Amino acid sequence: MVRQTQQSLCKRLAELDGGSFRQDPWERAGGGGGLTCVMQDSTVFEKAGVNTAVVWGQMPRSAARHMGGGQRLRSGEGELAFYAAGVSVVIHPRNPFAPTAHCNYRYFEIGGADDDVEAWWFGGGADLTPSYLFEEDARHFHSVHKKICDRHDETYYWRFKKWCDEYFYLPHRKETRGVGGIFFDDLHQKPVEELLAFAGDCAAGFSEAYLPLVERRHQTAFAEGHRRWQQLRRGRYVEFNLLHDRGTAFGLNSDGRVESILMSLPLAARWEYDAQPPPGSEEARLLAVLRQPRDWVEEG
Amino acid sequence: MVRQTQQSLCKRLAELDGGSFRQDPWERAGGGGGLTCVMQDSTVFEKAGVNTAVVWGQMPRSAARHMGGGQRLRSGEGELAFYAAGVSVVIHPRNPFAPTAHCNYRYFEIGGADDDVEAWWFGGGADLTPSYLFEEDARHFHSVHKKICDRHDETYYWRFKKWCDEYFYLPHRKETRGVGGIFFDDLHQKPVEELLAFAGDCAAGFSEAYLPLVERRHQTAFAEGHRRWQQLRRGRYVEFNLLHDRGTAFGLNSDGRVESILMSLPLAARWEYDAQPPPGSEEARLLAVLRQPRDWVEEG
């Protein structure tokens, strides 16, 4: 599933851009490996990364307990076998009117083969981070995800939409990172095949949710001031990823492949002292939504 | 002491640049306040911030215990009075050959007035972060600090130089942030007047240690590639400050004034996937030193 998502998404991104992905396969000393695909400083995309990893090995029970579904592990000490597979995508377009987007879907299993498995779960989600707010873009991104969620469980979308707004939050800025999407973790309450089908549908649906927005915006004319605001917003993206993102922290603390982990950071970002957009501006309109998350689709 | 350092340093920086500092006084709801001075996007300096803060109030004993000298606090629960005064400086010049520098000197006291004081200590240091290595610049910065340290205690420089290399270290990059300087915390083993004189001397000496390097380099001709490397190195600076710097974490977690705390971040920074300087280049020569910290002054 993760390889298939990677392959088809890279193909569509490359077609839209006209450029091509650099492909870096890597191996993990403790078991497994991955494939990092990056397109950088290209026509449509300033930085686009599509990562897959399928890894296994041993980890301390204490460390495993701090992970998504780890609270269900038996007590005790020692090492535990784990298996993890995931796909992770971060796309920063060049045009300030084309939004950044991220998605990540992962499966985690702890406790050795077959009958010894102590816990397994799915986690992931997809979220949209515009520098300029187009309400129809946010509505499209959310309604594609709602349609996918609803096919699997009618409670999913609203629970995961709320979870996304809560997770992608910068307390010191009192802002969400973007206009949200879906986020879930420790999903294990249905048979594994059903949840794999759900995660697979979400991953496959990312193109439909996101690519039309890039197609619609990437040739919009923009001025220096729009670019500056985009760079400031990318500074916020860096703040979230380095200060709060659990995947980034886990990767860096577990001696993961640094270049693949930090591929999520934008090509360029900016921090100005006390930059406040003028009241009533387009920039202020975005901030208002980040400070007070909205619903983008109708109930039901 | 902190106001005096701020005033004289801002004056010298403004003279060197030809620009002027924006001055933002602020008050803290719980007690005290500060003055944030910033020069941004100016001639010599891309971003220069000189902050002072003198604050007091109450904090949970458990939080106080996690601070520099907090391990000496009595056991128990409840709130504790605290008093803190500090000056904090981060300077990012525009020219890629002129190094970034940082210094911070602070005094902390916990446990109420006079006889009730349970712990007090000084902390701080100064460090230099070049994008291009000029050995004579590193030697100058270190020897000024050694001279100051030696006047107060002949063990200080070598202990604090080592502490600096250890503190400003990015484990995931296996690099130090820069070529070091001095760093100390929980300094309380001499009478408070002597240690105040030491911290004051260090703060006053920062200009002598750093400004000649900016004067020497800020007009050096540079190409696009030098600027790009500087921006990549500033990305590393952001990584350190958001992932590891204790002052930044403390400020953000304690609901400090965000714009004053994050003033340390550069105006612009860059992250390229897997950027590796060619062997033998000037850029590679810097990295070698960051991966294997060196002594910059003679023993004795």
Residues B129-160: tens digit of each pLDDT: 999 999 999 999 999 999 999 999 999 999 99
Beta-carbon separation of B252 and A172 below 8 A: yes
User: Running DSSP on this structure, what letter comes out for residue A151?
Assistant: H
Judge whether B228 is closer than 8 Å to chain A, CB to CB: no
pLDDT at residue number B113: 64
CB A212 within 8 A of CB A138: no
CB A55 within 8 A of CB A30: yes
Residues B244-258: tens digit of each pLDDT: 998 898 888 877 899
Contacts of B232 in chain A (CB under 8 A): none
The band of A250, judged by pLDDT with boundaries at 50, 70 and 90, is confident
Residues A153-212: tens digit of each pLDDT: 999 999 999 999 999 999 999 999 999 999 999 999 999 999 999 999 999 999 999 999
Judge whether B242 is closer than 8 Å to chain A, CB to CB: yes
Judge whether A273 is closer than 8 Å to chain B, CB to CB: yes
Residue B248 CB neighbour total at 10 angstroms: 20
Contacts of A40 in chain B (CB under 8 A): 272-273
Name every residue whose Cβ is closer than 8 Å to that of residue B183 and which is 6 or more positions away in sequence: B124, B125, B127, B160, B163, B164, B167, B168
pLDDT at residue number A115: 64
CA distances from residue A50 to A97, A215, B62, B163 in whole angstroms, order as listed = 22, 19, 43, 39
Both tokens of A170, joined, read: 């910068």
pLDDT at residue number A70: 77
Judge whether A79 is closer than 8 Å to chain B, CB to CB: no
Q: Which of B125, B251, B240 is nearest to B175 (CA)?
A: B240
The band of A113, judged by pLDDT with boundaries at 50, 70 and 90, is low
pLDDT at residue number A30: 87
A143 to chain B, closest Cα gap in Å: 33
pLDDT at B101 over 70: yes
Residues A253-279: tens digit of each pLDDT: 877 899 999 999 999 999 999 999 999
pLDDT at residue number B13: 98
Instruction: Calculate the average pLDDT of chain A.
Output: 95
**Which residues, listed in sequence order, are joined to residue A51 by a DSSP beta bridge?**
A36, A88
Q: Which of residues 149-168 of A touch B (CB under 8 A)?
A: none
Q: Which of A226, A213, A222, A220 is nearest to A270 (CA)?
A: A226
Beta-carbon separation of A271 and B262 below 8 A: yes
B153 to chain A, closest Cα gap in Å: 37
Q: Name which of B40, B238, B269 is nearest A273 (Cβ-Cβ).
A: B40
Segment holding B109, helix H or strand E: strand B100-110
The band of A27, judged by pLDDT with boundaries at 50, 70 and 90, is very high
Residues A45-63: tens digit of each pLDDT: 999 999 999 999 888 888 8
Q: What is the ipTM of this complex?
A: 0.94
User: Running DSSP on this structure, what letter comes out for residue A271?
Assistant: -
Q: Which of A40, A273, A274 to mutate to test the interface with B (most CBs of B within 10 A)?
A: A273
Q: Longest C-alpha distance within chain A, in Å?
A: 61
Contacts of A265 in chain B (CB under 8 A): 235, 271
**Which residues, listed in sequence order, are joined to residue B79 by a DSSP beta bridge?**
B60
Dihedral class, residue B157 (left if φ above 0, else alpha if ψ from -120 to 50, else beta): alpha
Q: Name which of A40, A41, A242 is nearest B242 (Cβ-Cβ).
A: A242
| Mean pLDDT for the stretch of residues B9-16 | 98
Residues B77-91: tens digit of each pLDDT: 888 899 999 999 999
CATH says A2-291 is which class? alpha beta
The band of A281, judged by pLDDT with boundaries at 50, 70 and 90, is very high
Contacts of B264 in chain A (CB under 8 A): none
Asked about B102 being catalytic, the answer comes back as yes
pLDDT at A112 over 80: no
Give the pairing of strands A32-40 and A22-27.
antiparallel
Q: Which of A111, A133, A129, A130 is nearest to A121 (CA)?
A: A111
Q: Which of B270, B272, B276, B291 to mutate to test the interface with A (most CBs of A within 10 A)?
A: B272
Name every residue whose Cβ is closer than 8 Å to that of residue B253 and which is 6 or more positions away in sequence: none
